[in-house]
Amino acid sequence: MPAEEDRSVLALPAPGPDLELRYGDSADAVVDVRFGGSGAEQRPLVVFVHGGFWRPAYDRVHVRPLTAALAEAGWTTAAIEYRRVPGRPDDTVDDVAAAIGHLSTAPELAGRCDGRLVLAGHSAGGHLVLQAAVDPRVPQLAGVVALAPVADVALAEELALDGDAVRAFLGGPAAGRPDLDPVRQPSPSAPVTIVHGTADEIVPLALARSYVAAHPAARLVEVDGGHFVVIDPRSTAWPELIGALSA
């Protein structure tokens, strides 16, 4: 039997955001902004998309330890929320694009970053940032950092990840929505780095390797550990995230 994944990062204490912004009318159209410390004004804004297999039970609160650690390291972050309604994937994708567009011109962020955007996301959020990277509605990006992403939706369905997660999200088989499968999309113009744990039992490394096989310009960094090590500021993988953002 595989070892149980260490989920302790999800329970780490973290302060609330410095600012909450709205980008639309739905209850989920909100963004938690955390201002970075020294040097943040000379770095891009990190727009972070949380995971949770696109399910309504998981929201942006669980990435607050990550954004707090990034702020301490000198990065201003914007953790977006989005609609997570089973069978309505276009709502989710539309929200991510709308949030990014809003943040690209938000006056509240003036002087808090250098005006560029880096997208980062974990798990299903990794899928969403890879999708956003080829969305024509999304402004120019400085880069994309996907952490343990569901980067091959068809393979995720084949492996029955988290039960019926893919079909629940899409409302049908993956074959019916190749436009929502990053492996089957054009290669992004922005540089892409994937950081993925070699012992990930929730979203196996095979999905990241499949993405890089389809998009050879993408860089894959394989790290020791499971699914949550890539968002854990206490982990040995944390410097890889900082390095990917800095690059």
Q: Where are the domains of the chain?
A: 8-246
Average confidence (pLDDT) over 172-181 = 98
Strand order across the beta sheet in which 77-80 lies: 19-22, 30-34, 77-80, 45-49, 117-122, 143-147, 192-197, 219-223
In tens, the pLDDT along 73-86 reads 999 999 999 999 99
Instruction: Please state the rounded mean pLDDT for residues 189-201.
Output: 97
Q: For residue 162, is pLDDT > 60? A: yes
Each residue's pLDDT tens digit, 35-83: 999 999 999 999 999 999 999 999 999 999 999 999 999 999 999 999 9
Query: Measured between alpha carbons, how far is 186 from 173 in angstroms, rounded to an integer?
Result: 21
Question: Given this model, what pLDDT does residue 4 score?
Answer: 78
pLDDT surpassing 90 at residue 24: yes
Query: Strand pairing of 30-34 and 19-22?
Result: antiparallel
Mean pLDDT, rounded, of the chain: 96
**Structure confidence by residue, pLDDT tens digits, 215-234:** 999 999 999 999 999 999 99
**Of all residues in the chain, what percent carry a pLDDT higher than 90?**
96
* pTM: predicted TM-score of the whole model, two decimal places: 0.96
Share of the chain above pLDDT 70, in %: 99
Residue 238: pLDDT band (50, 70, 90) is very high
Q: Is the pLDDT of residue 2 over 90?
A: no
Strand pairing report for 45-49 and 19-22: unpaired
pLDDT over 60 (residue 3): no
CATH code for 8-246?
Answer: 3.40.50.1820
| Dihedral, CA of residue 149, residue 154, residue 159 and residue 165, to nearest 10 | 70
At residue 1, the pLDDT reads 35
- pLDDT bin (cut points 50, 70, 90) of residue 6 is confident
